[in-house]
Amino acid sequence: MAGEARKVGVVGLGAMGAGIAQLCVEAGVETIGREVTAELGERARDRIAGFLARKVEKGQLDARERDAALARLSLTTEVADLADCDLVIEAIVEELDAKQRLFAELERVCRPDAVLATNTSALSVTEIASAISTPERVVGMHFFNPAPLMPLVEIIRAERTADDAFETAYAFGERLGKHPIRCHDTPGFVVNRVLIPLLNDCVRVLDEARVSVEDLDAGMKHGAGWPMGPCELIDLIGLDVHVHASEALWAKLREPRMAPPPRLVAMANAGLLGRKTGRGFYRYES
Ligand SMILES: NC(=O)c1ccc[n+]([C@@H]2O[C@H](COP(=O)([O-])OP(=O)(O)OC[C@H]3O[C@@H](n4cnc5c(N)ncnc54)[C@H](O)[C@@H]3O)[C@@H](O)[C@H]2O)c1
């Protein structure tokens, strides 16, 4: 197992998978993206082409590099087409059953030395790996949203991850220009384990201290040196995504701070999801 990943598969080309595929092709890696329908795959390729076009406009990429990057991306709807990948990164829906089914399929079609990575945020990498008979090749690669812009990737060692699979994933994170950090498979891994209860505390303080959203954000920016306020950050993450991750941590750790504050649940249920719906704590022009 291991070594350098020369050909990479990305399964699921939604918000995260498309960003990860973009990083791969920009890093010069031949990449095959798998979606459930050809149309979803094409849509993801169009989004990637749009982001690269904007980089060309801004002078961050030249047009030939853009064309070469796009030429490295191929699309499929067949898992069997991932047979010759050195590394497959899964970024499908956040459901244990779906991920376990996919990993079982990947185990059947991929070479025995291929490394299988999951981008799960809140599921256990060990549980995903338990669906296959070669769990030593499964590792977590947790990118942050938006993947092309956020520098961090958490490389997660599950109970039975082999050292060489782990190091392949770590080296690939570096190859993508990311800052990888090493950790073990625990709920929330590193950043979400710290950030989610912290953001929940911030929201609770809105009610306790009867501080306004704007003043809370100003407080954390100017008093704690945060680059953006907690309410701005929750709007950026998406209230639905935050509530979901919070519920997952609460279910696993049972610490009251992990539970999503009722105010956030109510906002999420009302469709006030933040930037993506034009309104969360703040209003956004589309
Ligand atoms: N959105 C975030 O902020 C974020 C951050 C880090 C990690 N994650 C994790 O990344 C994963 C994907 O999240 P997302 O936000 O990109 O979701 P998304 O809903 O935007 O994308 C998921 C995509 O996977 C596709 N898909 C579903 N089943 C598939 C299958 N069997 N094969 C191929 N494609 C399949 C769907 O058609 C969809 O396009 C989840 O595990 C999530 O927890 C999300």
**Predicted confidence (pLDDT) per residue in 210-251, tens digit:** 999 999 999 999 999 999 999 999 999 999 999 999 999 999
d(CA 209, CA 247): 24
Hey, what amino acid is at 266?
Answer: A
- What DSSP designation does 261 have? P
Give 121-179 pLDDT, tens digit per residue. Answer: 989 999 999 999 999 999 999 999 999 999 999 999 999 999 999 999 999 999 999 99
The predicted structure's pLDDT at residue 1:
57
DSSP H helices, 27-115, are 38-57, 63-71, 96-109
Mutate to test the pocket of ligand 1, among 10, 22, 36 (most ligand atoms within 8 A of CB): 36
Please confirm, yes or no, whether 121 is among the known catalytic residues.
Answer: yes
Q: What strands, in cross-sheet order, belong to the sheet with 138-143?
A: 73-76, 30-34, 7-11, 87-90, 115-118, 138-143, 152-157, 179-184
Catalytic residue among 26, 90, 119, 192: 192
Set 119, 121, 200, 246: catalytic member:
121
Could you tell me the distance, in angstroms and rounded to a whole number, from the CA of residue 162 to the centre of ligand 1? 25
Ligand 1 centroid vs 174 CA: distance in angstroms? 22
Tell me whether residue 269 is one of the annotated catalytic residues.
Answer: no
Look over the chain and give the mean of its residue pLDDT values, rounded to a whole number.
96
- Does the beta carbon of 118 lie inside 6 Å of ligand 1? no
Q: Within the chain, which residue ranges are assigned CATH 1.10.1040.10?
A: 194-275
Ligand 1: does its nearest atom lie under 6 Å from the Cβ of 242?
A: no
CATH, domain range 7-184: 3.40.50.720
Structural class in CATH, domain 194-275: mainly alpha
Tens digits of per-residue pLDDT, 28-41? 999 999 999 999 99
Residue 20: its H or E element? helix 15-26
pLDDT value of residue 2: 54
Q: Is 146 in the pocket of ligand 1 (CB under 6 A)?
A: no
Q: State yes or no: pLDDT of 182 exceeds 80.
A: yes
Angle of helix 213-224 relative to helix 230-237, nearest 10 degrees, comes to 110
- pLDDT, tens digit, 9 for 90 and up, residues 11-20: 999 999 999 9
pLDDT at position 126, please? 98
**Amino acid found at 143:** F
Quote the percentage of the chain above a pLDDT of 90.
Answer: 97
Q: Check if 12 has its Cβ closer than 6 Å to any atom of ligand 1.
A: yes
Count of positions (residues) in the chain: 286
Ligand 1: which residue has its CA nearest to atom 7? 121
Q: What does the pLDDT average to over 192-208? A: 97
pTM equals 0.95
Its sign, for the CA torsion 156, 162, 168, 174, is positive
Where are the domain boundaries for CATH 3.40.50.720 in the chain?
7-184
Paired strand residues for 279: 274, 283
